[in-house]
Structure 1
């Protein structure tokens, strides 16, 4: 493979990391580089990242630790629910950080609300960000906050993270396990899905229970998308997708974003950085076998997981494309995986 493959990423947690850990101005940390984490603008440029869905996320008071993903099996308790006021405070902070990044970037970074805006930004060598909400704890039952966030640029939303909220139930981090771990959407969750369809907000299925997946499939008139999930047959984690779910995503003309979190890649479910990229190639190949060449992309989970050492951070993302090329993926298929498939499904969802 010659040259750098420019790619669009379906998921990262950079805004949360900036909100919690940046030691100086968060916007400068992103624009000028930071010593920790996976993503900042200089490393994104080096790694060929052209843009992506950037998540807003409200952490629980007690959350998951990576050392919980150990042993031949594990069942991490669902983190506690986040109160509305607490969730809104941290989501507002992260949205402000992104707004300040865009303002301070002098045109280098653009907040995009449509595929046309993404394409224009990339054509002008500007970094294209689409705002995503991972878990809807910051949204009230009357959906007033949804209208405000949509006006601020929100175009993608996961009703739940891996915990319970007023809209539904998330899958626990459990291995080995089916994703069929409990109830799905609530009545409020059904209303949220309908509102997202009306506003043209993508509904992300990555953290929802299997019952919730089928609830969304029944209610939604948009393609089914899991922004950062993998193949359950290769890694039997509750977070991964069964063959039946993959078939439904295919039939809706949706997309799955390949997650680099090693615990959702490895057959043993371990969160270990010494993970070979051969397993990434196997997941992508299996996803393409089930979904077709136009329905698979990248959803890295940078800044939210342990990723393989051979990637390390977004700066090392070209290792993924080299591994895929070595595995027999041609340039046309790499381009679809890297960006074309995301542009296709976003055009069908956010417009």
Structure 2
């Protein structure tokens, strides 16, 4: 990593899914490749130091969410794929763990399970990588598989993506809408919260509906975290957080990672990258107003969404840093936004 560039620790990326689906291989991520948002040469140029690497079990067959073009128009409510049984999701998740381990073997990442490990990796040539699960389909209702994944390095988990799981309900891809879209956690979901607290696994609220959010807030002993979410007041998408939710996260000393995805930034909800970083700054200001300078980080959604053409991919992060400087962000706040706030909340969650 270029020592003159302040490294970014990123709350969400979907590189493991790209590797699992075979659109790119680990050697190409090491050496550099066209397409996508992340490879090691581009990360070094942009100061992308790593982050939470998501395991995600994609929809099976033709049951997936419609393409990015469906996020256009004056409004939308996209049908979600059905729930995915654990026996189908588990091999997908384990295959992505194998891709994670392959990246480590090739010298692309350093798997991290402590904040100290992240700090050391951010100063190295490798990417700091925390294994995350987006949607806990691969975990059984009794949470027996959770221990197995913890042993493999899992330190962050979102109980749901957007389709339902045995643990709860996610928000749909709906605009305009709120996250008040259904019931809260199931009995298994409450068990999952307790087990994650016991094991020191961070709970990610980014896709959870409002009732589920409130249940986690009532049950969890850890800081409340939404790894890649934006302000509903500026973009009324079901995926975004209301001011009430932001205030609850602030009360618990938690964190929200600013999502770079167009549909969750743009006031029109479109997944179109024709917008400037000024729109990201508007959401950032709103998050800072509710969460304070210690409660905001970055959660790009690289390799899982359309981002601003001004940034393009992880090599374009200097564009955002320069915009933040022009916006009046001083050096201490820049450090907090880029990685220090993530380190703080992970350290507290993991009991270090």
The TM-score, its normalising length taken from structure 2, stands at 0.96
> Is residue 22–residue 29 contact of structure 1 (8 Å, CA) maintained in 2?
no
> Which of 68, 71, 87 is equivalent to 2:70?
68
Q: Unpaired runs of 5+ in structure 1?
A: none
CA distance in 2, matches of 1:261, 1:101: 25
Shift of 1:126: 3.0
CA deviations over 1:83-125 (Å, ceiling 9, x no partner): 21221111111100111111121xx521000101111222344
Alignment of 1:40-79 (within 5 A): 40-61=39-60, 62-64=63-65, 65-79=67-81
> Is residue 261–residue 306 contact of structure 1 (8 Å, CA) maintained in 2?
yes
CA deviations over 1:136-193 (Å, ceiling 9, x no partner): 0001112121111000000000000011010100000110001111112110000001
Residue number in structure 2 paired with 1:255: 255
CA distance in 2, matches of 1:27, 1:262: 27
CA deviations over 1:1-30 (Å, ceiling 9, x no partner): xx533110000000001111335xx22122
1:158 and 2:158 aligned:
yes
CA deviations over 1:199-242 (Å, ceiling 9, x no partner): 00000000000000000000000000000000000000000000
- Describe the SS at the equivalent of 1:129: strand
Alignment of 1:54-203 (within 5 A): 54-61=53-60, 62-64=63-65, 65-105=67-107, 108-203=108-203
Q: Unpaired runs of 5+ in structure 2?
A: none
CA distance in 1, matches of 2:73, 2:26: 39
CA distance in 2, matches of 1:183, 1:318: 42
1:28 and 2:27 aligned:
yes
Moved more, 79-88 or 266-275: 79-88
CA distance in 2, matches of 1:313, 1:81: 31
CA distance in 1, matches of 2:185, 2:59: 20
Moved more, 181-190 or 325-334: 325-334
The TM-score, its normalising length taken from structure 1, stands at 0.96
CA distance in 2, matches of 1:318, 1:184: 40
Moved more, 42-51 or 196-205: 42-51
**Matched residue pairs, number?**
345
Moved more, 9-18 or 315-324: 315-324
> Is residue 8–residue 51 contact of structure 1 (8 Å, CA) maintained in 2?
yes
- Describe the SS at the equivalent of 2:157: strand
Shift of 1:42: 1.4
Moved more, 223-232 or 139-148: 139-148
> Is residue 7–residue 122 contact of structure 2 (8 Å, CA) maintained in 1?
no
CA deviations over 1:278-309 (Å, ceiling 9, x no partner): 11001111100100000100000000000000
Residue number in structure 2 paired with 1:214: 214
What is the root-mean-square deviation in Å for CA atoms of aligned residues? 1.1
CA deviations over 1:260-281 (Å, ceiling 9, x no partner): 0010001111111101111100
1:10 and 2:11 aligned:
yes
Shift of 1:53: 0.4
Shift of 1:35: 1.5
CA distance in 1, matches of 2:292, 2:220: 22
- Describe the SS at the equivalent of 2:228: coil
Residue number in structure 1 paired with 2:226: 226
- Describe the SS at the equivalent of 2:229: coil
Shift of 1:342: 0.6
1:276 and 2:276 aligned:
yes
Residue number in structure 1 paired with 2:348: 348
